[in-house]
Chain A
Amino acid sequence: DVKVTQSSRYLVKRTGEKVFLECVQDMDHENMFWYRQDPGLGLRLIYFSYDVKMKEKGDIPEGYSVSREKKERFSLILESASTNQTSMYLCASSQWTGWESEQFFGPGTRLTVL
């Protein structure tokens, strides 16, 4: 079974702090994704990566950055956390086979910024 893990289930941070969210997948997947999910807005793509050291902006990259130094690990960084970044953050991975590819999600990190 594909397993995607995230470093924390719940996280509380203060405005202005630098926040790191870690995601690890154990299926040698090429692609990894970071989403945030808010009520009424659905899943919104923040960043994604198709390869090590490669990253692409999604729909809402502002205020975030990412790092992918190893194939299995994809980190989301909030450089200076703000209250509007309070959300559920979901990491996903997929083995890119073009249109047949499906995404597998981690358990999510609920981040609260005070």
Chain B
Amino acid sequence: QKEVEQNSGPLSVPEGAIASLNCTYSDRGSQSFFWYRQYSGKSPELIMFIYSNGDKEDGRFTAQLNKASQYVSLLIRDSQPSDSATYLCAVNTGNQFYFGTGTSLTVIP
């Protein structure tokens, strides 16, 4: 079982819609959770992190964490073509960082 699982996609949404990206993790002791965006040919860049159960909002992005279900998600409201990228979920267990394989998102104009 992988430490971090993501649906590889591709996920396609129309411009202006909400994109929902999901991630599950296996280590119940995981403390912090990160979402990275990676454009094709570029390196990952951090867009959000979340430590506590519930929602965390930053502009058009909302991260949701449910530690009981070992589930973290990223919602992108009012999706734009510039949001088209691969989104990596990462989990910090305190000892090590684990990355998912990423979900490819395409926003259709």
The chain A residues found within 8 Å of chain B, CB to CB, are: 33, 40-43, 45, 90, 94, 98-108
Contact = CB atoms under 8 A, between A and B. Distances in A.
B80 interface: no
20 contacts: A33-B97, A42-B88, A45-B97, A90-B43, A99-B31, A99-B32, A99-B51, A99-B92, A99-B93, A99-B94, A100-B31, A100-B92, A101-B32, A101-B92, A103-B34, A103-B90, A103-B97, A105-B43, A106-B43, A107-B42
A98 B43 contact: no
Given A100-B32, A102-B49, A108-B43, A43 B88 contact: yes
A57 B40 CA distance: 28
Contacts of B32: 99-102
B42 A108 contact: yes
Interface in B41-89: 42-46, 49, 51, 88
A40 B92 CA distance: 22
A105 B93 CA distance: 19
B25 interface: no
Interface residues of B, number: 21
A41 B34 contact: no
Contacts of B101: 40-42
A78 B51 CA distance: 37
Contacts of B100: 42
Nearest to A110: B41
Given A40-B8, A100-B51, 4 more contacts: A43-B99, A90-B43, A102-B49, A104-B46
Contacts of B49: 102
A94 B49 CA distance: 14
A103 B97 CA distance: 9
B99 A42 contact: yes
Interface in B4-58: 8, 31-32, 34, 42-46, 49, 51
A76 B32 CA distance: 28
Nearest to A42: B101
A73 B100 CA distance: 27
Contacts of A42: 88, 99-102
